[in-house]
Amino acid sequence: MALKNLPDVVVVGGGMSGFAAAMAAAGDGRNVVVVDKSPIIGGNATNANVGTICGAYYRAATQLPIAVGYDFCKGFYKKAMQLQGLESPIKYHNGLWVIPYDWAQLQTLLNTEFAKAGITYLPRTQVTGVNIDNNSIESLSLENEEHQFTMVTKAVVDCSGSAVISRLAGLATLTSAQYQAASQVFRVSGVTVSNEFTFDMALKRSTARILVQYTDLPKCFATISVVPGSLRQGVADIKVVLPYAITDESILGELITEQAERWVNILFNRLEKDDGALSGAHLDLIYPSPGIRVVQRAKGMVVLEEYDVLNCLKTDDEIAIGVWPIEEWGSDGRVKMDYFAENESYSIPVGCLLSTEINNLFLGGKNISATTRAIGSARVIGTCLQTGYAAGKLAVCTNDEQRTKCIIELNKELRAKLG
């Protein structure tokens, strides 16, 4: 595959952190290519339809929240809200605030932003090899449905969410025997209830009834929920937790996707027959990918830990501000939230974005260097936009002096423009 110009930066992964990394590097005048295994841009945000942007605001129960992140991030929040006709985020629970979005509108927005920035986007393309010389990545071996090819580049930002580059290069990763449960989102139409809270409660009651009636259904379905802000004109997105463990091995292939689609069809058919929330409704869409929350990450120069998050530790080399609690979903369908104080935050230091062994490899999004518990906070979209943006800025630095200056400027922007 021939490109007009060799890329200065290759971003691996077209999710929200990959989007931010690419925009940051392109904003500095670099030629950027995004390599994405998914068919459409946006990662989990579109393919799995997460439905809300979390981690963009400080937790605040009694007042409008303060936004966090770079000017780029805050500008993106505003665009996302404008698409929904909103002037501010919506209340979630316990002082948390989120921005709802429509997956198709988000996909269009991301593609439009890439086109304006002159970024080359390669969907359905996987990295199959990493070619390293003198502790630097010289090129990547790539493969899509039509070609196998090599791409030479000056820097790589791994926003894959699964440490693709580190694994292929034989570098250290941070792993667990089992990770948080995945979810599957599906869209229904013909909903007769107009109030989202009322619909959510009715949906839970209907599901509770059929769980008693059909004992073959997994108990985790009892935590079924409406994606916040999705109920509009009789159409809603519904999320169910999937009843099996997520491991680094289980996410390979299409088995989870096939099982998720099967469960959704069984569940919907039984809910449709119940004289409750989905009686007379139609199943319009099962989103193409289950929402895989966490898998293995790259190991960087610094590892963000649970203690750092819950104790709101601050660092001088902060390049992202974390505000979301540690959120962990179990295979029983229940979520555990570990909060820190309202209007508080923790630092993600630059070392979490830097490879320990490869000079021109940078980490963003769910692939930053963090323990499994810590990434339970840092994995949300608002934080991923920040780490992706910072990684993209760092990737265009050609020497230590430029990198030091970049870190100082990133930190200054974060702290000077809170709110």
- Assign residue 168 a region: left if phi > 0, alpha if psi is -120 to 50, beta otherwise? alpha
Query: Edge-to-edge strand order for the sheet containing 225-226?
Result: 225-226, 236-241, 183-189, 282-286
Q: What superfamily in CATH does domain 9-175+295-416 come from?
A: FAD/NAD(P)-binding domain (3.50.50.60)
Q: How many CA atoms lie within 13 A of 399 on its CB side?
A: 1
Q: Using the CB atoms, write b or e for 104-128: b if 16+ within 10 Å.
A: eebbebbbebbeeeebbbbeebebe
Residues of the chain with CATH 3.30.70: 183-286
β-partners of residue 57 are 67
Residues of the chain with CATH 3.50.50.60: 9-175+295-416
- Reading the block at residue 54, the tokens are 């979390």
pTM to 2 decimals? 0.95
Q: How does pLDDT run along the chain (419 residues), one tens digit per residue?
A: 545 568 999 999 999 999 999 999 999 999 999 999 999 999 999 999 999 999 999 999 988 899 999 999 999 999 999 999 999 999 999 999 999 999 999 999 999 999 999 999 999 999 999 999 999 999 999 999 999 999 999 999 999 999 999 999 999 999 999 899 999 999 999 999 999 999 999 999 999 999 999 999 999 999 999 999 999 999 999 999 998 878 887 665 567 888 999 999 999 999 999 989 999 999 999 999 999 999 999 999 999 999 999 999 999 999 999 999 999 999 889 999 999 999 999 999 999 999 999 999 999 999 999 999 999 999 999 999 999 999 999 999 999 999 999 999 999 999 885 55
Q: How far apart are CA 3 and CA 140, in angstroms?
A: 14
Token match 């702290």: residue?
415
3-class DSSP assignment, residue 9: strand
Q: Give the β-pairing of 126-133 and 32-35.
A: unpaired
Tell me the CATH number for domain 183-286: 3.30.70
The Cα-based distances of 267 to 224, 236, 254, 259, 260 in angstroms read 10, 16, 20, 12, 11
Q: Which amino acid is at 173?
A: T
Which candidate, 123, 160, 154, 159, places its Cα nearest to that of 30?
154
- Whole-angstrom distance, CA of residue 355 vs CA of residue 57: 29
Distances (CA, A) of 167 to 12, 298, 314: 13, 8, 30
| 325 CB-near residues (< 8 Å, 6+ apart) | 59, 96, 337, 338, 339, 340, 377
> What is the token pair recorded at 166?
């580190």
